[in-house]
Structure 1
Amino acid sequence: MAQFPDEDSDGSFERQEDAFRRVVGKEDDLPAIPGRYHLYVSLACPWAHRTLITRSLLGLQDVIGVSIADPVRDERGWAFREGPGHGPDEAEGFRFLAEAYLASDPSFDGRVTVPVLWDRLSKKIVNNSEDDICRMFQDAFAAPEAPNLFPAHLAAEQAALSQFLYEKVNNGVYQAGFATKQTTYEKAVLELFAALDELEARLTGSRYLLGEQPVESDWRLFCTLLRFNAVYHGHFKCNLRRIIDYPALHRLLVDLHGLPGIAETVNLDHIKRHYYVTHDDINPTRIVPVGPARIF
């Protein structure tokens, strides 16, 4: 199956809808029991990375297990094999994440994506939406003293901001990178940088997006900023400016990366090898750049 098979006639990239959307702690047969659920991620994927960051921030390392996929995908999809920064799946012994999808729905014929929250009791996928998984980690598993990434008094503002970040930045880089027509690409790039300009202005007067404490929206932005100079600037042709050219956005990137438990979730080797090797329609030589010399 192609990496991203769905394209409109105008050359726009369309992201696949998440297929599994059950919620731990809100359904009777899915109680929040430590050790029952397992997280499957790629360190390269920004969507999966956000769930791994949330797991770390909320102190759930001993509550939710994790398996890390090989960053290089082939036609068989995400694989679990020995390598630098990743290894075999010790939870279920899957060789490929596709096995989890087919065990959960034998008729599934979509693209196998990360992250995945797996139920070790029922042997089925609970959820493959990063938004849902992050919220479940907070609502169902986090201790009362854990950071609150979804403060109630900011709920409406945060929801609107997170939607803006998804449409214009998180998915915006993909809209540019996977566009197949010049006009579609140019429109996506201009919208992306208009959004980055707006976020730069917002952060000039605030340490974080919604005040003096980081919330989940900040981590949405972080996962794109982290990959920007190394991947999106060149590989996805998002090259009007670099993040280092935005003082406030760069400050946010450095600030968030320096918080406890975050650096351990970052693997630039996985990030670069995934994008430059896997996306051979964009980079047919599969040469992985040595740089950039500076990310932070």
Structure 2
Amino acid sequence: MVDLPPATRLAGPVDTATYGEYRVPDTPGPLLRFTGRITGDGEFTPGPQRYHVYGGWFCPWSHRVAITRSLAGLDDVVSMSYVDGERDGRGWAFREQYGPDPVNGFTFLRQAYEAGEEGFEAHVSVPALWDRVHARLVSNDSHTIGIDLATRFRHLATPLVDTYPAHLRDRIEELDRWLGPTVNHGTGAATTGTGPARAALLEAFEQLDDRLSRTRYLLGDALTEADIRLWVTLVRYDVGANAARAINPGLHVYPHLWSYARDLYTIPAFRDTTDFATFSHPGATLPDWSAPADR
């Protein structure tokens, strides 16, 4: 860790007049440039306090990882900190609200990316998994970060919930192939008129509502990564993409889906990693997430 006074490890205010708006770079190669995995015998092996997650309270993909980390019992094994919720052309930064980078003293998250790729010019995103041993990023792929946190540290921590059990992994990924494009990525597109994205999203909600009328979680009685992946979109729906009720009257029109979402919110790993203020549109009406779920 860089030994600098906290005040010198904070970025200045967002300055779009000088640096412009952040744009996802149109550079060759994959959007997710770092795709390392934690394994038992590879370059990145599990160890206590070896890894750190750089996240963003506003980001659903970071939210997934934060929930999994907590359910896996890793709060004291894998550390996590948060970038500021606003950015300019320089990308995500560490500012006063969430404090300095506790691992490296970076002022901008881009510096973590540059540690692994000199002159890095691709997309700087959260979540990003940092390895203290090699002093570089392991991955910025939320999908595999979540899986690795759920499965690779059980000799170091007792999970509260096994969110990626071996016998359900194929079904979890099968659901993701449906809900990923239709719901997680489809809500934004669904706000524009009555096109196919909106129809597909509402049809998915109807199917989920029917499914959840017969089972507590997506895959029966087991809370899994499938529920985490869906929930981070549901919790943002009525204060984000559907804040103006441009898609439908609200999540409440699907009573079983809405009750399921509130039921998950009662779990500390979900509730304590949620800050509505960081992702709600201005003027959005927050539904009553504390209403009894009756499940």
Q: What range is the shorter-chain TM-score in? A: 0.7 to 0.9
* Among candidates 52, 60, 66, match of residue 74 of structure 2: 60
Amino acid at match of 2:208: L
CA–CA distance in structure 2, aligned partners of residues 227 and 257 of structure 1: 12
Say if 1:230 and 1:295, in contact at 8 Å, map to a contact too: no
2:286 is the alignment partner of 1:289: no
Q: Helix, strand or coil for the counterpart of 1:265? A: coil
Say if 1:229 and 1:295, in contact at 8 Å, map to a contact too: no
Q: Give 1:293 deviation, angstroms.
A: 5.1
1:231 maps to: 240
* Among candidates 157, 162, 166, match of residue 176 of structure 2: 162
The 1:238–1:120 alpha-carbon spacing in structure 2 relative to 1, beyond 3 Å, is farther
TM-score (norm 2): 0.83
2:83 maps to: 69
Q: Give 1:125 deviation, angstroms.
A: 0.6
Say if 2:243 and 2:284, in contact at 8 Å, map to a contact too: no
CA–CA distance in structure 1, aligned partners of residues 287 and 164 of structure 2: 35
Q: Helix, strand or coil for the counterpart of 2:53? A: strand
Say if 1:60 and 1:142, in contact at 8 Å, map to a contact too: no
The 1:155–1:293 alpha-carbon spacing in structure 2 relative to 1, beyond 3 Å, is closer
CA–CA distance in structure 1, aligned partners of residues 229 and 149 of structure 2: 15
Q: Deviations over 1:90-125 (max 9, x none)?
A: 111111111111111124322211100001121111
2:201 maps to: 192
More displaced, 205-214 or 135-144? 135-144
Q: Helix, strand or coil for the counterpart of 1:223? A: helix
Q: Give 1:145 deviation, angstroms.
A: 4.4
Amino acid at match of 1:70: D
CA–CA distance in structure 2, aligned partners of residues 220 and 131 of structure 1: 9
* Structure 2: runs of 5 or more not aligned: 1-20, 291-295
1:280 maps to: none
Report 1:134-283 matches (<5 A): 134-143=146-155, 145-146=158-159, 147-176=161-190, 186-234=195-243, 239-272=247-280, 276=281
Say if 2:53 and 2:128, in contact at 8 Å, map to a contact too: yes
Q: Give 1:88 deviation, angstroms.
A: 1.4
Please provide the CA RMSD for this pair: 2.1
2:112 is the alignment partner of 1:96: no
CA–CA distance in structure 2, aligned partners of residues 123 and 33 of structure 1: 14
* Structure 1: runs of 5 or more not aligned: 7-15, 277-287
CA–CA distance in structure 2, aligned partners of residues 188 and 132 of structure 1: 26
CA–CA distance in structure 2, aligned partners of residues 189 and 104 of structure 1: 40
Say if 1:207 and 1:252, in contact at 8 Å, map to a contact too: yes
More displaced, 148-157 or 108-117? 148-157
The 1:238–1:27 alpha-carbon spacing in structure 2 relative to 1, beyond 3 Å, is farther
CA–CA distance in structure 2, aligned partners of residues 127 and 27 of structure 1: 17
The 1:243–1:4 alpha-carbon spacing in structure 2 relative to 1, beyond 3 Å, is farther
Aligned residues with identical type, % of pairs: 34
Aligned residue pairs: how many? 265
Say if 2:22 and 2:88, in contact at 8 Å, map to a contact too: no
CA–CA distance in structure 1, aligned partners of residues 25 and 203 of structure 2: 28
- Point out the structure with max Rg over C-alpha: 2
Q: Helix, strand or coil for the counterpart of 1:167? A: helix
CA–CA distance in structure 2, aligned partners of residues 116 and 27 of structure 1: 21
Say if 2:127 and 2:141, in contact at 8 Å, map to a contact too: yes
TM-score (norm 1): 0.83
CA–CA distance in structure 2, aligned partners of residues 290 and 218 of structure 1: 25
Say if 1:41 and 1:66, in contact at 8 Å, map to a contact too: yes
Q: Helix, strand or coil for the counterpart of 1:59? A: coil
CA–CA distance in structure 1, aligned partners of residues 113 and 41 of structure 2: 21
Q: Helix, strand or coil for the counterpart of 2:39? A: coil
2:145 is the alignment partner of 1:133: yes
CA–CA distance in structure 1, aligned partners of residues 210 and 163 of structure 2: 23
The 1:49–1:226 alpha-carbon spacing in structure 2 relative to 1, beyond 3 Å, is same
CA–CA distance in structure 1, aligned partners of residues 25 and 128 of structure 2: 21
1:50 maps to: 64
